[in-house]
Amino acid sequence: MTGIILFAIAFLCLFMGYSVAFTFAGVSVLVGVIVLGPELFAFMPYRIMSIMENTTLMAIPMFVYMGIVLQKTGLAERLLESSAKLFGSIAGGVAVSTIIVGSLLAASTGVVGASVVAMGVISLPVMLKNNYHQPTAAGVICAAGTLGQIIPPSIILIILGDVMGVPVGDLFRAAVIPGMLLIIVYTIYILVLGKIKPEFCPPMVVTEGKRELLIQAAKDIFPPIILIVTVLGSIFTGVATPTESSAIGAVGAVILSIIYGGFSLPKLNEVSKETVKVTSMIFAVLIGATAFSMVFSYSGSEYLVEEIFMELPGEKWTFILIAMLTILILGFFIDFIEIAFLVVPILTPVAIALDIDLIWFAVLISMNLQTSFLTPPFGFSLFYLKGVAPKSMKTTTIYKGVVPFIFMQLAVLILVILFPNHLILT
């Protein structure tokens, strides 16, 4: 019963609006001391020290820093503007450019909030000015922003690699095709929509010549692509670890901002503060979740969960179905970080016992958690966009716009479940 009580109190506190990190830590101490005794927490300092010395997790602040530099120094803005003009002359062109830039930002930041805000500030006004269907415009931006969850270097893939004990580089490699498949599906949907209902995403009037547009696009798009190829290429070829490549990416982003004239000491200070805030939030949740999982494990609840799943009919596929449905439903209400730190450690031993490929399973979880950014009522991408959207755009409009993209994400998730040998790079 300890595990059930632990989860019940934690979710009750989360729904009441208490801080995630302190909820996990407080509930763990309360239940742990009462049920197992205070001596259990004698091990806690060693667990915290282990987290702080984890070199894999060092990649998180570096990639966050890299993404915020691109956003704050105007490089993301240049990407969006050039892409919009390059593709804007076709029906749905601005939306397609938003998807492409969203994928580039995902591959250079891994931070969903930064991508959605950047595209909401820059791309949304352009689409609305060109009489785009408001739900479609909102849905494209939210969906393109969430690509940072699956396209490397994804923060959630780094977290899952650490939690599940699998190499982050292998996770990055495995996530490439599913991420590309999502981009292709989104793009096809917009182009088909542009043909069937051109009034939903009309073409943009472009005054610049084609040659001029291509030159400007080369200046604004290729340097970030070179940075992305350098970072990911160094990981995939084994030249650098994800942590080392994250440092390369952070330095490369600063160099690009200097080249493009977006660098200044006040901006550097602002970027550093934002990076510290995001990183501190992630590690505070991780420490609280560590205490939570320790109480859950030492109470014997972990073995009970494993025993229940092992006795279900269908074994592997029943487990995958229940795990994916559980994560999907939880994603409607709580953040991806809490799910990664709380639910995944419970599911991982069962997956190992059922001889499930952990790399494949981690990619499935990452894609499922990506959907949680779009699902009402607490999809974070919806809130990020609402914060920068015009007051005339209602929350229900944003909800309506993301529905097709939720189904597209689930369809791609099902394909990855059914055809792992074809869609997962090993």
Q: Residue 417: what pLDDT?
A: 93
Q: Residue 110: what pLDDT?
A: 62
Q: Which residues of the chain have pLDDT under 70?
A: 88, 108-111, 114, 206-208, 302, 306, 377-378, 426
In whole angstroms, how large is the CA radius of gyration of the chain?
A: 22
Q: Residue 364: what pLDDT?
A: 94
Q: How far apart are the first and last CA of the chain?
A: 40
How does DSSP assign 182-245, residue by residue?
A: HHHHHHHHHHHHHHH-TTTSPPPP--S-HHHHHHHHHHHHHHHHHHHHHHHHHHHTTSS-HHHH
The structural domain count of the chain equals 1
Instruction: For residue range 248-299, list pLDDT tens digits in order.
Output: 888 988 888 888 777 788 888 888 898 888 888 878 878 887 888 788 777 7
Instruction: For residue range 115-136, list pLDDT tens digits in order.
Output: 787 778 778 888 888 888 999 9
Nearest C-alpha neighbor of 346 from the set 370, 319, 378, 368: 319
What's the domain range around 214? 2-423
Planar angle of CA 147, 84, 155, nearest 5 degrees:
20
> Which contiguous run of DSSP H or E holds residue 107?
helix 93-108
Q: Residue 378: what pLDDT?
A: 67
Instruction: For residue range 3-47, list pLDDT tens digits in order.
Output: 778 878 887 887 777 777 788 888 888 888 888 788 878 878 888
Q: Residue 316: what pLDDT?
A: 86
Q: Residue 193: what pLDDT?
A: 93
Q: Residue 108: what pLDDT?
A: 67
